[in-house]
Amino acid sequence: MQTLTRAGLTVALQEKAGLSKRKADAVVNGIIECMCEALERGEQVKLSGFGTFILRDKNERMGRNPKSGNLHLVTARRVIGFRASPLVKRRLVAPQM
């Protein structure tokens, strides 16, 4: 299984858009920075045709260590969720030919 990285996105953008490596890197970094800033402000990030990144606040709760069985307090925290668009879902579950 391969992983698409930030560097991989830069190379793909460079090839598809005909940008220099420096400009493609600036675009990728700029998009990631804008998305992070929006999430920090508590906003959803919607990318039409791709999906939505959602920030959720989880309450404090009791958890259990699966190895020892001991109970412990899991602190409140923020988590990021992702909901794929119907277009992406169709592409991922379509039969491969």
pLDDT tens column, 3-52? 999 999 999 999 999 999 999 999 999 999 999 999 999 999 999 999 99
Residue with tokens 């001991």: 70
Which CATH number is 1-43 given?
Answer: 4.10.520.10
CA-based nearest residue to 54, from 26, 84, 24: 84
pLDDT band at 96 (very low <50, low <70, confident <90, very high): low
Task: Return all residues near 74 (Cβ < 8 A) that are at least 6 apart.
Answer: 60, 61, 62, 63
Domain boundaries, the chain: 1-43
The CA distance from 46 to 82, in Å, is 10
pLDDT tens column, 76-90? 999 999 999 999 999
